[in-house]
């Protein structure tokens, strides 16, 4: 994300290996945005597809400040090695320990932390906090003791525009944000939690958000679950779903129209989606694969 001030915020750094594939894509996106450094890197949690690419990224573009949730809760040797590789890179920059209710000081944006290290904001956001009638039918799942449940979640505001990114936060903690009172309020864009996997995205939270647009950060065979897609599609007030990949599991019935999908082939070229925002709350989504742009008016 690049604010009008020119300061930048990156959320996660993708996978390691694959000949630096993810780090190269991020560095290319930064270059196209006119950036020479990443001012703030938020590591939502310590899984390979989120933190694994940090060392390779830092070789390609400087990172000023690292924002994370503290130590990893997972104790396997692989988890320890992953965290240690990240910690060595983090030691070369500044460090912010994320706490719910705090803000990341990106000039020109309002970035509020909603969840971190298993903790959640205790009070509702401004113009939020109403009783949520959808909670009456909400079913809780199994508690998640791993890294997903520790995820940093954020509300990003620019003027009247609001975007929600909860990382890979798990089902029960999302319900805790939405029930019995909805602490988050409404949003313009909802970035699907946990790649739109069935471990996240309860309707009691998603529908109460009333998103105008949902962006599904899925892979061809990662996330993009049909049940989650249907929850999104039935969300009140939703106009469109944009997807990073066609979901193989979703098939023809549970995917957006092809023009709204950045990568329609499983062996993809890594096309992206671009979100351009105005302070009045209007925004435009652009598909890099086909050049399609659609502008949404403020609500």
Q: pLDDT tens digits for 5-36? A: 999 999 999 999 999 999 999 999 999 999 99
216 vs 192: CA distance, rounded Å: 5
Same domain, 47 and 127: no
Same domain, 141 and 154: yes
Q: What is the 3-state secondary structure (H, E, C) of 182-248?
A: CCCCCCCEEECHHHHCCCCCCHHHHHHHCCCEEEECCCCCCCCCHHHHHHHHCCCCCCEEEEEECCC
155 vs 109: CA distance, rounded Å: 10
Same domain, 104 and 31: no
List the one residue out of 179, 223, 227 whose CA is nearest residue 205.
Answer: 179
Same domain, 127 and 191: yes
* CATH number, position 92: 3.60.15.10
B/e letters for 54-77, b = 16+ CB within 10 Å, e = fewer, are bbbbbeebebebbbbbeebbbeee
Report the helix count and the strand count for the chain, using DSSP H and E. Answer: 7, 16
**pLDDT for the residue numbered 80:** 97
CA end-to-end span of the chain, whole Å? 22
**pLDDT for the residue numbered 147:** 98
**pLDDT for the residue numbered 55:** 98
Same domain, 34 and 64: yes
Same domain, 63 and 206: no
Q: pLDDT tens digits for 96-147? A: 999 999 999 999 999 999 999 999 999 999 999 999 999 999 999 999 999 9
**pLDDT for the residue numbered 49:** 97
Percentage, residues of the chain above pLDDT 70: 100
Based on C-alpha coordinates, what's the Rg of the chain? 18
**pLDDT for the residue numbered 65:** 98
103-104 and 153-158 beta bridge pairing: unpaired
Q: Report residue 175: phi and psi, to 5°.
A: -60, -35
Domain boundary residue, one of 97, 120, 136: 97
Q: Which parts of the chain fold into alpha helices (H)? A: 21-32, 48-51, 54-58, 77-90, 171-178, 203-209, 226-233
Q: pLDDT tens digits for 55-107? A: 999 999 999 999 999 999 999 999 999 999 999 999 999 999 999 999 999 99
Q: Report residue 103: phi and psi, to 5°.
A: -125, 145
Dig out the tokens for 128 from the structure. Answer: 């939020």
Domain boundary residue, one of 71, 97, 123: 97
**pLDDT for the residue numbered 61:** 98
Dig out the tokens for 50 from the structure. Answer: 């989120």
98 vs 82: CA distance, rounded Å: 19
List the one residue out of 204, 199, 235, 139 whose CA is nearest residue 215.
Answer: 235
**pLDDT for the residue numbered 32:** 94
Same domain, 160 and 280: yes
Which residue range forms the structural domain that includes residue 51?
Answer: 1-97
CA distances from residue 272 to 15, 63, 217, 219 in whole angstroms, order as listed: 16, 22, 10, 12
The number of CA neighbours under 13 Å toward the Cβ of 98 is 31
Same domain, 50 and 172: no
Same domain, 62 and 192: no
Count of CB atoms within 10 A of residue 34's CB? 9
Domain boundary residue, one of 97, 117, 133: 97
What is the H or E stretch that residue 277 is in?
Answer: strand 273-277
Count of CB atoms within 10 A of residue 165's CB? 26
Same domain, 230 and 136: yes
**pLDDT for the residue numbered 14:** 97
Same domain, 88 and 228: no
- Specify the number of domains making up the chain: 2
Same domain, 139 and 236: yes
């Amino acid at each position: 994300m690049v604010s009008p001030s020119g300061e930048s915020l990156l959320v996660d750094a993708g996978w390691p290996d694959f000949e630096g594939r993810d780090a190269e894509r991020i560095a290319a996106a930064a270059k196209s945005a006119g950036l020479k450094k990443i001012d703030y890197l938020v590591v939502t949690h310590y899984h390979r597809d989120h933190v694994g690419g940090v060392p390779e990224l830092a070789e390609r573009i400087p990172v000023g400040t690292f924002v994370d949730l503290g130590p990893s809760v997972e104790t396997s040797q692989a988890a320890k090695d992953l965290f240690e590789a990240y910690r060595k890179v983090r030691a070369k920059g500044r460090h912010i320990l994320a706490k719910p209710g705090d803000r990341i000081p990106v000039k020109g944006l309002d970035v509020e932390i909603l969840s971190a290290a298993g903790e959640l904001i205790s009070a509702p956001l401004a113009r939020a906090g109403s009783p949520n009638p959808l909670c009456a039918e909400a079913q809780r799942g199994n508690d998640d003791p791993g890294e997903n449940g520790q995820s940093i979640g954020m509300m990003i505001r620019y003027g009247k525009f609001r975007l929600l990114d909860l990382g890979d936060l798990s089902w029960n903690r999302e319900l805790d944000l939405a029930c019995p009172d909805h602490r988050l309020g409404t949003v313009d864009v909802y970035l699907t939690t946990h790649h739109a996997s069935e471990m996240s995205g309860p309707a009691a939270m998603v529908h109460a958000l009333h998103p105008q647009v949902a962006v599904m950060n899925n892979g061809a065979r990662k996330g993009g679950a049909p049940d989650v897609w249907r929850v999104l599609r039935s969300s009140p007030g939703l106009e469109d779903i944009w997807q990073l990949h066609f979901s193989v599991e979703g098939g023809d019935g549970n995917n957006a129209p092809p023009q709204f999908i950045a990568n329609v082939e499983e062996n993809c070229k890594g096309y992206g989606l671009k979100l351009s925002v105005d302070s009045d709350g209007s925004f435009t989504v652009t598909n890099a694969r086909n050049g399609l742009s659609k502008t949404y008016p403020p609500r």
